[in-house]
Amino acid sequence: MTSVKEQEAVRKLMVFLQEWDSGHKVARTRILDSFIKSNNGKTEPELELEFSQGASLFLARLTAWLRMTYTHSTCLDKLLKSIGIFLSAAGGRRYLIEFLEIGGVMVLLEMLGLNHLKEEDKRESVRLLQLVANAGRKYKELICESYGVRCLAELLATSTSAEAQEEARVLLDSLGRGNPKYQNQVYKGLIAVLPCASPRAQQLALQTLGAMQELVGEAPPALVEPLLALLGSAHLEVQHQALQLLPALMPLRVRPALLAALVAALAPPGQTALASRSESTADPNALCPREPMLAYVQQAAAAKAIGILAKESAEVAEELIQLKAVRGLMVAVGNVEHVPSQRHGSISLKYFVHTFPCVEEHMKKAVGDTLFQLFMDSPETWYTKMDPAQAEELASSLVDIPKDMARKQSTEGCTEVP
């Protein structure tokens, strides 16, 4: 038999629930404000004490109202925060299960795709999904099975809120860990973000790909094109993340394609066209400089990456030599239209010449004694001392090193190839 005190507590709960059930938006908003203020951070036992062992009855009402109004409600932030109090309550696993049983995950994911919703509401939805994911592997799988990776990748790529993008990145990173069944799906979802128009999203996607790389193992060939394209980004933070990812990919099967693409980027088609334009008296607007300039940014980043990768692995350096990277670096140094290309090309070229005697010999034969001596005297700054004729001579020089000649510290066998 219940005590008078318990009966009074139950009566207060019923009055509270009736007030919610009969209240319109203004009344319910007031109830939510009071609930958030009084119960934020409470544990499951504390919530049950507050609601006379009937907290689940209020959670059910909150979730039902969310399902009915999420497409047009104007107080979603308070509703989502109230649900979050239940999902984050220590010891409140049953609240999470109750929320999931009535389709809570699907509602939250659908909200991410509604263009008219506030970014703050979408951010709060992602936070609730993170609480679900934190509950364990089977809950991460549930989010992924509900097309969660696609929804989160789209939010990351299209959101105008840096905070929402960061929340999406954190959740994608979480879904990619301790979730072997879907970690490759998460990885591919991040790759799909790379071609988007948001530099912030590109940076975050690259950062998360790098963090996941060791877990995933092999990288798909689809990564090569968007990754190399981001080396041409005008945003240095994006370039930096792309360069950071490259070394982690070198032990993988995707390496040959990546190295070939890097070498190809050293000789952009626009370099010749733009150089020709600068020497002519034609209309300066005849060629749009935007594309060649982006190609030059990529050229400089490729030259820098080649130097980094070569210094980390002699095997990679030899492969780059066979792919004619030395020739490409000379083209970059000869690009008077873009100083960063000349600078990074010179620094990387210095490593190859000083490390591989055969490269030194073939380069000397290709560019002649005068230009080569200029390089040897100041390898990192020689491009600043070249006149236009020397730069053109350098960019048009041919260096071809036989396959068996790229041997580190080899002092013999460097013969000229016609």
* pLDDT digits 0-9 by tens, 6-55: 788 889 999 999 999 999 889 999 999 999 999 999 999 999 999 999 99
Residues 15 and 17: their CA atoms lie apart, in Å, by 6
Comparing CA positions, the residue from 244, 260, 275 lying closest to residue 324 is 260
409 dihedral zone (left: phi>0; alpha: psi -120 to 50; beta): left
Contact 86, 124 (CB under 8 A): no
User: For 349-353, what is the mean pLDDT?
Assistant: 94
Contact 141, 154 (CB under 8 A): no
Residues 259 and 265: their CA atoms lie apart, in Å, by 10
Residues 203 and 295: their CA atoms lie apart, in Å, by 19
Residues 250 and 318: their CA atoms lie apart, in Å, by 13
Residue type, 372: F
pLDDT digits (tens, 9 = 90+) for 75-115: 899 999 999 999 999 999 999 999 999 999 999 999 999 99
Query: Percentages helix, strand, coil for the chain, rounded to the nearest 5?
Result: 70, 0, 30
Q: So what's the pLDDT on residue 381?
A: 87
Q: Phi, psi at residue 102, to the nearest 5°?
A: -105, 25
324 dihedral zone (left: phi>0; alpha: psi -120 to 50; beta): left
Q: pTM for this structure?
A: 0.87
DSSP state of 194: T
What percent of the chain is predicted at pLDDT more than 90?
72
pLDDT digits (tens, 9 = 90+) for 43-57: 999 999 999 999 999
Whether pLDDT at 266 is above 90:
yes
The size of the chain, in residues, is 418
Tokens describing residue 260: 């070939």
Residues 415 and 149: their CA atoms lie apart, in Å, by 55
Whether pLDDT at 271 is above 90:
no
pLDDT digits (tens, 9 = 90+) for 297-333: 999 999 999 999 999 999 999 999 999 999 999 999 9
Mean pLDDT of the chain: 88
Comparing CA positions, the residue from 394, 393, 390, 410 lying closest to residue 402 is 410
**Alpha-helical segments (H) within 159-288:** 162-175, 183-193, 199-216, 224-230, 236-249, 255-265, 269-278
Residue type, 43: T
